[in-house]
């Protein structure tokens, strides 16, 4: 469980027995962390700061009506106020999508608990917007951390095609197949291949250099 949510005490949590946006956020923050993989305390603090200093102040009717009375337009207007309040130029589209996401997840968890309907369904909060040329360029050159299954098959096919391939290519094969680091692959030699004592005809590569 996370530490007790530190939301400004001035925000109203309930109106006539119904939760406000802040009330939902505070009551179900632990669930939001689990559902959205917000694992680290740094992430918790950063997002709490966003709620405290950006989102809640922009929801000007937060203290005036319960969550069930909010409309899609209310949340859209909040995003526009966040944009207008920024004093250093313009937020990137990535940052705006982040704020939309923080609003959307609260609406979703409120919907799951029967507090309100998901008024954001099918809106710009849930549908990806067209990104600009610069952001598209950044996405194209971003270094991916994993391959798809199809890409792995293509890599394996190419690396296993020629048993007389250069040593550098074979080193890449070791790294790909066994998960070796650069130095481990470079230091490996045939003497490091040992037969497993408890399994006939099976061998293991000893990595200790």
Q: List, for residues 56-98, the tens digit of each pLDDT value.
A: 999 999 999 999 999 999 999 999 999 988 877 778 888 888 9
Domain of 166? 149-205
pLDDT digits (tens, 9 = 90+) for 130-166: 555 666 566 556 565 667 778 888 888 888 888 788 8
Task: Give CA–CA dist 106/188, Å, rounded.
Answer: 52
Predicted confidence at residue 144, as pLDDT, reads 59
Task: Give CA–CA dist 62/51, Å, rounded.
Answer: 12
Considering the domain boundaries, does residue 192 fall inside one?
A: yes
Is there a single domain that holds both residue 155 and residue 98? Answer: no
Alpha carbon dihedral 71, 76, 79, 80, in 10-degree steps, equals -130
Is there a single domain that holds both residue 135 and residue 69? Answer: yes
Predicted confidence at residue 2, as pLDDT, reads 43
Alpha carbon dihedral 105, 107, 109, 113, in 10-degree steps, equals 180
Is there a single domain that holds both residue 130 and residue 156? Answer: no
Is there a single domain that holds both residue 102 and residue 136? Answer: yes
Predicted confidence at residue 121, as pLDDT, reads 82
Is there a single domain that holds both residue 25 and residue 50? Answer: yes
206 pLDDT band (50/70/90 cuts)? confident
Is there a single domain that holds both residue 34 and residue 130? Answer: yes
Considering the domain boundaries, does residue 5 fall inside one?
A: no
Question: Shortest CA distance to 105 belongs to which of 209, 196, 182, 28?
Answer: 28
Considering the domain boundaries, does residue 58 fall inside one?
A: yes
Strands (E), the chain: 14-15, 18-19, 193-195, 203-205
Is there a single domain that holds both residue 58 and residue 131? Answer: yes
Is there a single domain that holds both residue 130 and residue 154? Answer: no
pTM attached to this predicted model:
0.59
Residues 102, 103, 105, 109: is their CA dihedral positive or negative? positive
Burial class (CB in 10 A: 0-12, 13-18, 19+), 205: middle
Question: Shortest CA distance to 8 belongs to which of 42, 59, 43?
Answer: 59
Task: Say how many domains are in the chain.
Answer: 2
pLDDT digits (tens, 9 = 90+) for 11-55: 999 999 999 999 999 999 999 999 888 888 888 889 999 999 999
Burial class (CB in 10 A: 0-12, 13-18, 19+), 15: middle
Is there a single domain that holds both residue 25 and residue 64? Answer: yes
Burial class (CB in 10 A: 0-12, 13-18, 19+), 20: buried
Considering the domain boundaries, does residue 4 fall inside one?
A: no
Whether 103 shows a pLDDT value over 90: the answer reads: yes
Is there a single domain that holds both residue 88 and residue 173? Answer: no
Residue with tokens 């130095």: 183
Task: Give CA–CA dist 15/63, Å, rounded.
Answer: 8
Q: Can you read off the two tokens belonging to residue 134?
A: 């610069």
Considering the domain boundaries, does residue 8 fall inside one?
A: no
Rounded to a whole number of angstroms, the distance between the first and last alpha carbons of the chain is: 41
């Amino acid at each position: 469980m996370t530490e007790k949510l530190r939301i400004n005490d001035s925000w109203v949590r309930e109106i006539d027995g119904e939760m406000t946006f802040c009330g939902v956020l505070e009551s179900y923050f632990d669930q939001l962390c689990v559902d959205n993989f917000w694992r680290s305390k740094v992430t918790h603090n950063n997002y709490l700061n966003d709620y405290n200093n950006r989102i809640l102040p922009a929801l000007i009717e937060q203290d005036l009506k319960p969550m069930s009375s909010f409309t899609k337009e209310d949340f859209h207007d909040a995003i526009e106020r966040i944009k207008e309040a920024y004093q250093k130029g313009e937020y990137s589209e990535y940052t705006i999508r982040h704020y939309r996401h923080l609003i959307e997840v609260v609406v979703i968890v409120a919907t799951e608990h029967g507090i309100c309907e998901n008024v954001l369904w099918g809106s710009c909060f849930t549908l990806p917007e067209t990104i600009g040329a610069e952001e598209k360029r950044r996405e194209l050159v971003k270094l991916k951390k994993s391959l798809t299954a199809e890409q792995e098959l293509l890599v394996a096919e190419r690396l296993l095609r020629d048993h007389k391939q250069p040593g550098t290519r074979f080193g890449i094969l070791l790294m790909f197949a066994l998960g070796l680091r650069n130095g481990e692959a470079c230091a490996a030699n045939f003497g490091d291949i040992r037969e497993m004592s408890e399994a006939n005809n099976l061998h293991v590569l000893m990595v200790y250099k």
